[in-house]
Structure formats: C-alpha cells, structure tokens
Amino acid sequence: MTRVLVVNAGSSSIKTTLLDHDDTVLAHDSLPVEHGGFDADALAAALDRAPAPDAVGHRVVHGGSEFTEPVRLDDRVRDRLRDLADLAPLHQAKSLAGIDAVGRALPDVPAVACFDTAFHATLPPAAATYALPAAWRDRYALRRYGFHGLSHAYASRTAAELTGRSRTVVAHLGAGASLCAVRDGRSVDTTMGFTPLEGLVMATRSGSVDPGLLLWLIEHEGLAPADVADALEHDSGLTGLAGTGDLRDLLARDDDASRLAVDVYLHRLRAGIAAMAASLDGLDVLVFTGGVGEHSPQIRSRATDGLEFLGVALDLDRNAVETVTGAVDVGTSGAPVRTIVVESREDLEVAAGVRAVLTG
C-alpha cells in the first residue's frame, strides 16, 4: 500500500492530503464548506491535480457503538453512518458527502472510514455511563462516546514517544474543543459525550449546559427542540458570548463581552484539565494540539495558570512558539509535569488505519 489519500470533511472546510508510503505529503488541498456544503466539482478538480492514490481514508466523526475500529466502506457501512447523522450534525453529513463525492471521482479505489469515536471505545463504564433509566440506556444506546479521537490518539502517542511517560491529558483546542485522559495509550475519560456538544466551551457550541435549563426554555418559552438544538450548535459558545468564535479576535479586543467570553472559556478548560488528571490519579504530561492549542501561546499560558498544584509550569520563552512542526516542549525544565505542544496530524492517524485494514 503506497499512496493514501486522506479526506477530512470538517465544519468549515474539506481537506485532502495525499501521503506516500513513508507519510511524505505529496499533495494537499483545502476547499471551503459554505452554506452547509462544498463544491463537488472543485473537489474532483483537486483530486485530478494530484497523483493517483492507492487507497482513500475518510475521517468520520461518529461510529456509534458498532464501529470501534477503521472499516472498509461499502453500501451497508454508508447506510449505518447515515443513521448516526443526528448525533453529529455539524460533521457527519459533510463526511458522508465527502465519501460520496470522492467515491464518484475515484470509483475503483478502495476506501476506509476511520472514526473519531473509536479511540474512546476503551472508556471504563464509570466514565461512559450516564445516570439515566436503564430502559433508556439500553433501548437507545445512550452513553458517552467521545470525539476528536483521531487527534487524541496521535497527540498522546507522540507525547509518549517523546517523554516515555504514561498519564497524559490532551487538550484538543480548535473550533471544536475537547479534553482526553490517556493512560498507556488508552482513553479513560473525555469531555465530549453522547454528542460533540458536551464539555468545553467552543467556537459556536455551548459545551455542557444544565439540561433543566433547556427543558425550561422548551416548556416555558415554547421554543421548538429543533431551534434549541440549532442554537446550541451554531449560535452558542464564544459566538453566543461575544459575537465571534475566533479567539484571536477576542484576545485582541478590549471590551466586557470579549473578556467574559475568554474567561468563561478558560474557566471551563482549567477545570476540565484538573478533572482529567483526577481520572488518571495524577498527571505526567499535558499536551496542547489543534488550531488554538498549537498557535496561541496566550491561551496555553492562561489555561495553565493556577495548575501549579498539578505540577504544570510553562517556560514563557519556550511557550512563545506559534508554529509547531512535530512536537515542542514548552514546560519549565524540571517541572513534575511535561507540557508539550503537538502538531495535529489526524491525516497520519487515518493513513495508519487505512493500511491496517487493507494490508493487515
């Protein structure tokens, strides 16, 4: 298996990366997602410009309880993935559209789906189970699935190779954001749950909200559940607090709304890091990855401010880095906890999954 084309259809773009057998990048393209979709003709043109792949790997957000490992795509798998679309509305439909578009452009190339939920299949029952009636949990498969698993898997493994340490908390911070507690390469806790709405404050998503508040809005204000769901996905988080989900803009502004938005974001983030460390009975390595995690020294510094009791200490000069290739240690020398910034490479994780499925 030589060349693998990795397709990552996200909420704001669809990215294609062609990797050679040694994971050298042979071609890369990024097309915008607008009005809920992307230009299939532009995608086909981008694929025509690149060398022909031997296989295709698709990042798919939700695999449910059924898909806990990468799987070769066929009609049955596509149908099952469509059934899961309601659980990840920002991403699943776009992943399916990408699968269909690439399949039309490359009909004879085998394709594999790699799942963000799969890494969290190892969550212990205490971390995966909601305290809901057993009849509900059994009938509807209600549990905490977790997301961003491809990123968490790659970042935690990179950190382990660099440090030789086991207990790791990964902070994937981008437009979507989540934390993951990893011990010996296995996910043992995470902040996202049944859907990607749970957990941290994000660019447009609310993160965790008291369910009683939502029931109150539906019952007392007469809001339709679909409108509530849309607002939680698209109009909440940093956007709901300050009008934009771009942390760079918020950090550059000097007004009450932007300050409150950043403070709320950091409050939830710091608390989450400490909670993940508790799930690990301690902390050896803290990892930042994702667009914000990699490129914002200020967020990293403020997120770790007050976490000295865990052993976290940043070196201000090292932490000034805004562009990371591979991995960079930004912690103070001798600190009990190593703090690492890891370049997000979900494409490498997907390619590895493709090769495992197709070549064993």
Rounded distance between C-alpha atoms, residue 287 and residue 155, angstroms: 7
Contact 280, 183 (CB under 8 A): yes
Chain centre distance of CA 154: 11
Rounded alpha-carbon distances, angstroms, from residue 295 to 14, 321, 348: 21, 7, 20
Q: Catalytic residues, which ones?
A: 116
For the chain, the distance separating the N- and C-terminal CA atoms, rounded to the nearest angstrom, is 10
What 3-state class would DSSP assign to 22? coil
Q: What is the CA radius of gyration of the chain?
A: 20
- CA-closest candidate to residue 324, choices 307, 351, 342, 299: 342
Strand order from edge to edge, sheet including 25-32: 25-32, 13-19, 4-9, 55-60, 111-115, 71-72
Rounded distance between C-alpha atoms, residue 258 and residue 234, angstroms: 18
Pairing label, strands 13-19, 4-9: antiparallel
Strand order from edge to edge, sheet including 168-173: 186-190, 177-183, 168-173, 285-289, 338-342, 327-329
What 3-state class would DSSP assign to 287? strand
Rounded distance between C-alpha atoms, residue 15 and residue 58, angstroms: 10
Which one-letter DSSP state was computed for residue 341?
E
Pure H helices in the chain: 40-49, 75-83, 92-105, 125-128, 134-140, 149-163, 211-220, 225-234, 237-242, 247-252, 256-279, 290-295, 297-304, 316-319, 346-359
